[in-house]
Structure 1
Amino acid sequence: MNRLKLIKIICASAAVLSGFAIAAPAQTPGMALLDGLTPGEWTLKERGSREPGQKVCLGNPELLLQIQHGSASCTRYVIENSPKKLRVSYKCGSAGQGVTEIKQESSALVQIHTQGIRNNAPFSVNVEGRRTGSC
């Protein structure tokens, strides 16, 4: 095979392969930490508080990402994503924004730090989330 023909084949192959690479859709990574949590009733208690805490039925663990913004429609950006630590930034339009970091101690115990703006006021909260039963 002559050199010119070989170069053309290599260039054509590179063009085809790069076209496939460009055309491949970007995939949003799953959030491994949330996938490892046990569904059920969870109690969210602010660290250092004497209050009993808020009970939530954790069917969708993404609820833990924006505990200060509830069910507001928010866009999210994953900053850090590992099986034991998750950090997410989110924006909820006029309702505010925040950054939440969740550290998993077990499938039934997490530490949550969230800070941001809600209703034009700043917040910074440390919460322990503990599975307390079924719902």
Structure 2
Amino acid sequence: MLDRFEPGLWEVTPRDDASQAGQVCIDSGRKLIQVRHARETCRRFVIEDKPVSVTVQYTCPASGSGLTHVRFKNPRLALIETQGIDNGLPFNFSAEGRRIGACSR
């Protein structure tokens, strides 16, 4: 399912605080799994993979873990729900990921 998202520059906007929006350049939808641990090398385990959604648990040896559910709305829009531990602190948020253009090189 994650291969259905268009590569490019995506804006990830938390649903409860639009001022915290961030941008990420993705080459595949797999980058949407680790929004909170984007720069980490983590082990992933796919819990559920359906045509319109995927749920993945991941563990990052140095900084924490997470459980992410990504829902496919269209090739340029994803709904992301993620929770876990980041540097010893819990996190839990829902966000909208939207492709906004090409990545700058």
TM over 0.5: yes
TM-score by length of 1: 0.72
Q: Paired residue for 1:111, among 79, 88, 93?
A: 79
Counting strand residues as a fraction of each chain, which structure ranks higher? 2
Deviation at 1:44, TM superposition (A): 0.4
- Relative to structure 1, the CA distance from residue 37 to residue 77 in structure 2 (aligned partners, 3 Å threshold; closer, same or farther) is same
Query: Percent identity of the aligned residues?
Result: 37
| Matches of 2:20 and 2:67, distance apart in 1 | 25
What residue is the counterpart of 1:4 in the other structure? none
- Relative to structure 1, the CA distance from residue 110 to residue 124 in structure 2 (aligned partners, 3 Å threshold; closer, same or farther) is same
What residue is the counterpart of 1:74 in the other structure? 42
Task: Give the CA RMSD over aligned residues.
Answer: 1.2
TM-score by length of 2: 0.91
| Matches of 2:18 and 2:4, distance apart in 1 | 29
Would you say the 8 A contact 2:3–2:28 is kept in 1?
A: no
The alignment partner of 1:62 has SS state of: helix
Structure 1 segments (4+ residues) deviating >3 Å:
none
Tell me, which stretches of 5 or more residues in structure 2 are unaligned? none
Q: Is it true that 1:59 corresponds to 2:9 in the alignment?
A: no
Residues 87-124 of structure 1 deviation map (CA, whole Å, 9 limit, x = unaligned):
00001113101100000111111100000001000000
The alignment partner of 1:67 has SS state of: coil
| Matches of 1:107 and 1:64, distance apart in 2 | 13
Higher CA-based Rg? 1
| Matches of 2:69 and 2:53, distance apart in 1 | 7
* Matching residue's letter, 1:122: P
Aligned length: 103
* Matching residue's letter, 1:69: H
The correspondence of residues 13-32 of structure 1 with structure 2, limited to 5 A, is none
